Structure 1
């Protein structure tokens, strides 16, 4: 093992693994993975409602009546437009499971705490005059993607406070004869009362400020700048790609962890795109999560091209077999077989195309969408295992998206080709040498 690989294994890899396993980050990652089910379901109905065919909405009205377009969008409302509530509960639940405390109760407390921080007044305009309607919790807005940052904070804070009370044994204890459900309810009374009271105090304090609520302050001071710099900026996209590649090169699947941190900003951008499409407008944002799905054809490093090359052009028997094993998973964006079988992990020679390929695709795809050559992502969520080309069509709602991914495939092949060809040549020569040595020892008695 050379010095570079030794540094990676002994110094960097343990740090990366520790970050990846950090309990709060894992709870966030697992929670977004959980609600992805809802978002994919909502996206299916979004596709049905806005299928990219001229006259589709008119056809729905003709077949099913005037109210059908709104009816078919209802599943979208109850999935996308309530995602912050789901996240507040899911993070508390997942983190509580790691602390081995009453996860369901903490999840409910987290949801209640998050709702308690939301302003209950809605502003509407009638004939150009603005009116405030009290006691209204708007669908979307703060309970949708806009409130995700606060939902994450609430989920973590509520769980930590509850866990502190349980650790210090500050709770009402019931006799062993009392049913477990009743005992848990009384055990949660003191920490629950303190948590709700604290959230009420926070609501009261921020209601007296110019922001009006904690959510508005966080969104103004943190979410909007972060969204602009990280979530919707080409340099932020390149930085995220480089970070993901470094983790994968060390053999750590930390993509989901990194995505868990940035996903709240992506979701706001995707919601804006979806809202624009529903209004018949052009989506405003490029760098949604599905933009990255277009990039990573076959997984990190866009390695489907590598699998195809190994299967069709490799001279090495070992590499050809790895290609055959890897190409089918690669079509569904699963690249562990080629990452660890070739290997690409901790292979300094493969590091260059692994890093460069997605960066080049980010630049190409960003600017063809920026100049309107290919439509921007439409905001739907697809399973990350959706095969390329099909993926490109569904994400952009246009055949141009499929053609873009096909073009990207050739670009990636061009980047990987000289490296894989040389690796294949060396492996082939090694196999020939081993065959010659076997022939030298082949004799009969």
Structure 2
């Protein structure tokens, strides 16, 4: 059964399309991290001072606040565009064809599916009925709601962040995979323009990608055009309504969160990198939730309007302290209760790295793989910690995670920063370490008896 499980899990972890999706999310990390830093700085320079009544401080920081806004717009606000390029690049690189062209084709294909016209609604204040009637005669659309009159106009050639940001990620995955598959298939079938041998390599590569790239972009544009004509709904909205939102809705249940946390530990127990195997699920569903929370906070400047309870950073903030299995708690338990010299040696070597959530020395030094002594705490500690943090978030005790923070940030501090400086979130993270310590301790003590029997 173990061999079958590892074989299936290995195939899932090595599936080329899932690997490309995972690697594309990883490739975006420098940009999304820069955007998250910009939002986090504005929390401390604008939001917290304003809430405390220090408006003069936020006014003094206005140039820096505006600069952070530019950084946010160039990173998180357009992440779907960035992801499309990264996905096309990774697929082309895997198929050993021109990766730059592959990224550009996927980027262009995704942009070709975005609605070309943006509706702009402007409230008309202080105008009489004569002006309103004149506007109607000009053929302009007027909307009257709640005693207010709004003017609806449109602008061609604009790309809104509603499609270029986190909401467009699922469409970017869909179109990015289709366009890159067409491009790679045609490139490998040699449906290309061949140039003479004396032509510079860069020119040769560019001409070779013309036919595959053109066909890929046309197919993608057709996929975006048909829903707009037949169903009067953009492809982006179609995927968002019938694919993205249902999947992300299912991911927000306590059962889904606990199950995924358990599966990560189960893969690790059998020697497989749980986060890599489940990376397409964790990143493909929970990472967009994180970025949508970031966008919602940036728009409302309030944690009360965040759409998702659980995001990608929630796992790291509350159930991965010290690394998978909350092994920072295991290290503490070993220091206090273990009499086994090899365990204490591993703990001493691992403690400095464990503070920064690097736990390979513990995972492979104890080891945890197929270890019956520690199988139970290894499998149940992260799910229990997830359940505690999830219930604390649902109850309103702590806000949802909405900031992307480097995974090496120490426990407690990670949750504090990921929630925009919420002290209670940090306390919940530290409380989870205490709970994990209580669970690990009996098994560490039991391991002492096992050593005595072996001696």
- TM-score above 0.5, yes or no: yes
Q: Secondary structure at the match of 1:391?
A: helix
- Are the counterparts in 2 of residues 211 and 217 from structure 1 also a CA contact under 8 Å? no
| 1:412 and 2:407 matched | no
1: distance between equivalents of 2:404 and 2:452? 43
Match of 2:335 in 1: 311
2: distance between equivalents of 1:303 and 1:26? 27
Distance 1:306 1:211, change over 3 A: farther
Q: How many residues align?
A: 421
Shift of 1:332: 1.3
- Are the counterparts in 2 of residues 121 and 132 from structure 1 also a CA contact under 8 Å? no
Aligned residue runs from structure 1 range 215-254, under 5 A: 215-230=236-251, 232-254=252-274
2: distance between equivalents of 1:276 and 1:156? 28
Shift of 1:124: 2.6
Shift of 1:210: 2.6
Alignment RMSD (CA, Å): 1.9
2: distance between equivalents of 1:286 and 1:421? 37
Match of 2:293 in 1: 273
- Are the counterparts in 2 of residues 317 and 428 from structure 1 also a CA contact under 8 Å? no
Aligned residue runs from structure 1 range 354-373, under 5 A: 354-373=378-397
| 1:213 and 2:262 matched | no
TM-score, normalising length: structure 1: 0.90
Shift of 1:130: 5.5
| 1:423 and 2:418 matched | no
Match of 2:172 in 1: 151
- Are the counterparts in 1 of residues 392 and 398 from structure 2 also a CA contact under 8 Å? yes
2: distance between equivalents of 1:136 and 1:348? 61
Equivalent in 326, 333, 336 of residue 350 of structure 2:
326
Match of 1:198 in 2: 219
2: distance between equivalents of 1:133 and 1:39? 31
2: distance between equivalents of 1:257 and 1:125? 45
Match of 1:31 in 2: 24
1: distance between equivalents of 2:151 and 2:352? 57
Shift of 1:64: 4.2
Distance 1:409 1:116, change over 3 A: same
- Are the counterparts in 2 of residues 249 and 351 from structure 1 also a CA contact under 8 Å? yes
Match of 1:297 in 2: 321
More deviation, 82-91/192-201: 192-201
Q: Secondary structure at the match of 2:405?
A: coil
Q: Secondary structure at the match of 1:125?
A: strand
- Are the counterparts in 1 of residues 179 and 217 from structure 2 also a CA contact under 8 Å? no
2: distance between equivalents of 1:150 and 1:206? 13
Equivalent in 101, 104, 111 of residue 97 of structure 2:
101
Shift of 1:263: 2.2
TM-score, normalising length: structure 2: 0.88
Which 5+ residue runs of structure 2 have no aligned equivalent?
A: 124-148
Shift of 1:303: 1.3
Match of 1:21 in 2: 14
